[in-house]
Structure 1
Amino acid sequence: MRRTFLALCLLPACTTSTTGWEDDAFRTEAKNVVDRYAALVSAAYEKSSRGAEQMDSALQDFVAAPSADTLQATRTAWLGARDDYGLTEVFRFYNGPIDAAPDELEGRINAWPMDEAYIDYVEGMPDVGIINDLAAYPELSRDVLIERNGAEGEDSISTGWHAIEFLLWGQDLDPAGPGARPFTDFVDGGTAANQDRRRQYLTLTSELLLDDLARVADSWSEGQENYRAEFVAQDPKDAIGKILLGMASLSGAELAGERMTVAYDTREQEDEHSCFSDNTHKDLLANIQGIEDVYHGRIDGQAGPSLSSLVARIDADADTLATAKLQAAVAAVAAIPPPFDAAIQAADGSPERASVKAAIDSLKEATEALVGVAEALEIELNLE
């Protein structure tokens, strides 16, 4: 993924309290919000890990017996797992477990955009990619995939959701639908060379994704000496600053910017997030829904101690505005007609292209409202 690292300002000049931070009852409620957030993060990553396990199970069945039916079952499982993962992306941008060095697991899990020819054949180039380069990569292994991820530039992606996506769907050469890689690419003597290495690559990538997601989930598990324990033990104002930084960074620079404006301006299919499966519209919707869930402290649809209730204590207008703008952003993103690549490539003035622009504008407004929430809490967000 295009990486955007944002800083959080919590300087003394930012923290002179007139909002209730010196009030014990207010700080207790803020601590409850932080605890609820930690529980929400843990539940979301655990659900994402379970979805990935279900995908891997379907994938193993496919690799053992490639067929049109087992390929379709694996694609369906990937789509379901991808929806679960999309809800977790709001937990980034403050150097938490998924972003922190040295592993920077997000880059292995969800990096994009990717040069598909880095992994496997593409139209007109049947011999390219790690799978087909037996001289450079005589043995495929997890270490090889990790070492090659990002080794030759931003789009030299060899691991994660989108590597698996490309192997399952292939290039999207159909303007009206997703890629259509045949299952025979994985059958000995089938439609493309190195079928055994393609099966191995798919298996290795899925196993690595499972392990990386499990590591992140473990970092947020309750009752351990881990990142979650440190997160909930810090000053609640600092923790809430990080929470808001993740929310506003995702809605603004990442969603409105990298994931939508870039694709809108270039009209390039390669700039959409899940370009092989045509799942981008659902990626975007899950991302903004994840932000809204955090604001209302929702776990599986059930609200709990939340930023909304905390902000409402000191600035009801800021809370009302943020609630409305987030709700509007969800609706605007949901209104983009799939597939996303067709919408960005539609004619200027068309309803499809206008819907993308409307969603971008709505996300920017939601980001501004979140900055207003931070200001109400006397937290300064240093956003790009």
Structure 2
Amino acid sequence: MKKLLVAIACASFALSAQAAEVNTQQVVSQYAVLVSASYQDSLASAREMQAKIDVFLAAPSADSLKAAQDSWREAREWYGQTEAFRFYGGPIDSETGPEGFINAWPLDEAYIDGVKGKAKAGIINSKTPITEAKLRSLNERGGEENIATGWHAIEFLLWGQDLSKDSAGQRAFTDYTTAPNAKRRAEYLKLVTQMLVNDLASVEKEWQANGKNFRAQFEKGGDDSIKKIFTSLGTLSRGELAGERIEVALDTQNQEDEHSCFADNTHRDIVTNAKGIQNVWEARFVRRSGEVVSGASLKQLVAQKDAATADAVSADMAASVKAAEAIQAPFDREIVGKKDAPGRKRVQAVVESLKNQTKNLVNAAKALGIKRLNTSV
């Protein structure tokens, strides 16, 4: 009887292990499901932000401004996780993609509106037409910091300059009522919010199921699509997040080099980016509704070839998210001081964890036969 029970147990284990195996097609298809769900939630939260901004513009007050600001922060939570779908020429950042209109930074505030010492600066205080075509033509014209559209333009218009060490920007709602060019400021905010929603909708459409779109091509990509996924994770992890978004700010200790400086939201940007990387690796995404999207993962695919490396990547990603969550707001105070300052050490810990996970991502890619993986921006 004991021999029979052992045999049954072994057979059950073998069947379980066999059922757990995944193939390239399953992983690529599940990735597409995850991307689609993520962009759906990002778009939905952006539309809710738009509704709050419309309410504010219809009846500006301290309360309606705060509600609009809160909705911006909420929407950023969902967009931040989608940045793990970049860096391989997909619909978000292909040569014709809208990423530069959505999330370009750092932003020169004076390019858009008046700032301390330059009250009449910017597009809003000029006679420039406030139209979509015009703002798109002006975005990054004459310099990368000449940002006219996207998340950070909206952020600046809601918060204003961050002139305080201890709080976010303190823009008054009266900037939309009695201040000079209040009407143009409102027109500008309404338009760039609509443009952001439209641009996100265009990307979301390209990942919808059963369409003649990018997703349909991607799901037929096989090993090439797997390489694109790895490229996205490695580039966001090392070149963009650890490098451009954190190390530059650590080096300069300059508030202008943090990602969401007006709202003091940079610490959350870092968390959501790190979480987005983990989402892709594990093929798991917790939606706004609480629904959990999960399925065949890159982690499983790699583990079938090299379990130790797969475990190392998973451990690094968990460490990166945990370290990111330990950063204290505001980020611009964390980066100031000597090398051994507590805040700088917390931020540096995120960089080191991201570097480690990138190295192991390269090893994971090699386990699947991908010999070269670009992780620079």
Q: What TM-score comes out, normalization by structure 1 length?
A: 0.90
What's the CA shift for 1:99? Answer: 0.7
Q: Does 1:178 align with 2:165?
A: no
Supply the distance in 2 between the matched residues of 1:313 and 1:351 (Cα, whole angstroms). 40
Displacement of 1:111:
0.2
* Number of residue pairs matched by the alignment: 352
Q: Is the 8 A contact 2:22 2:301 kept in 1?
A: no
**Percent identity for Structure 1 against Structure 2:** 47
Secondary structure of 1:277 counterpart: coil
The one-letter code sitting in structure 1 at the alignment partner of 2:181 is N
User: Which amino acid is the alignment partner of residue 362 of structure 1?
Assistant: S
2:204 is matched with which residue? 217
**1:34 alignment partner, one of 16, 28, 31:** 28
Matching residue of 2:89: 95
1:334 is aligned to 2:320:
no
Identify the range of structure 1 (340-349 vs 209-218) with the bigger mean alpha-carbon deviation. Answer: 340-349
Q: Which residue of 156, 167, 183 corresponds with 2:157?
A: 167
1:186-232 deviation per Cα after TM superposition (whole angstroms, max 9, x unaligned): 00xx2x31000000000000000000000000000001000000000
Residue 143 of structure 1 corresponds to which residue in structure 2? 133
Amino acid at match of 2:373: L
CA distance in 2, matches of 1:298, 1:356: 26
Q: Name the TM-score, length of structure 2 as normaliser.
A: 0.91
Residue equivalent to 2:369: 378
Q: Secondary structure at the match of 1:381?
A: coil
**Which whole-Å CA distance do the structure 2 matches of 1:378 and 1:48 have between them?**
33
Q: Return the alpha-carbon distance in structure 2 between the equivalents of residues 95 and 348 of structure 1.
A: 37
1:358 aligns with 2:349: yes
Query: Residues 181 and 48 from structure 1, CA distance in 2 versus in 1: closer, same or farther, beyond 3 angstroms?
Result: same
Determine whether 1:85 maps to 2:79.
yes
Higher relative contact order at CA 8 Å, sep ≥6: structure 1 or structure 2?
A: 1
Q: Given the alignment, which residue of 61, 67, 73 partners 1:73?
A: 67
Distance apart, 1:72 and its partner CA: 0.3
| Paired AA for residue 128 in structure 1 | A
In structure 1, give the amino acid aligned to 2:324.
V
Q: Does 1:309 align with 2:300?
A: yes
Counterpart amino acid of residue 307 in structure 2: A
Counterpart residue number, 1:116: 109
Contact 2:169–2:263 (8 Å) recurs in 1: yes
Residue 27 (structure 1) shift: 10
Partner of 1:193 in structure 2? 180
CA distance in structure 1 between the partners assigned to 2:337 and 2:77 by the alignment: 26
Q: Give 1:346 shift.
A: 3.5
Which blocks of at least 5 consecutive residues in structure 2 are unaligned? 1-18, 287-291
Q: Which residue number corresponds to residue 132 of structure 1?
A: 125
Q: Take 1:295 and 1:161, find their aligned partners in 2: how far apart are those partners? A: 26
Task: State the superposition RMSD in angstroms.
Answer: 1.3
Q: SS at the partner of 2:328?
A: coil
- Whether 1:208 and 2:190 are equivalent positions in the alignment is no
Q: How big is each residue's C-alpha offset from its partner over 1:156-204, in whole Å with a ceiling of 9 and x where there is no partner?
A: 00000000000000000010110000000000xx2x3100000000000
Aligned-partner Cα distance in 2 for 1:151–1:169: 24
Residue number in structure 1 paired with 2:41 = 47
Equivalent in the alignment of 1:22:
none
Q: Deviations over 1:47-100 (max 9, x none)?
A: 000000000000000111100010000000000001100000000000000111
* CA deviations over 1:216-262 (Å, ceiling 9, x no partner): 0000000100000000012x211110001000000000001000000
Match of 1:264 among 250, 262, 274: 250
Structure label with greater radius of gyration: 2
Match of 2:51 in 1: 57
SS at match of 2:373: strand
Match of residue 239 from structure 2: 253
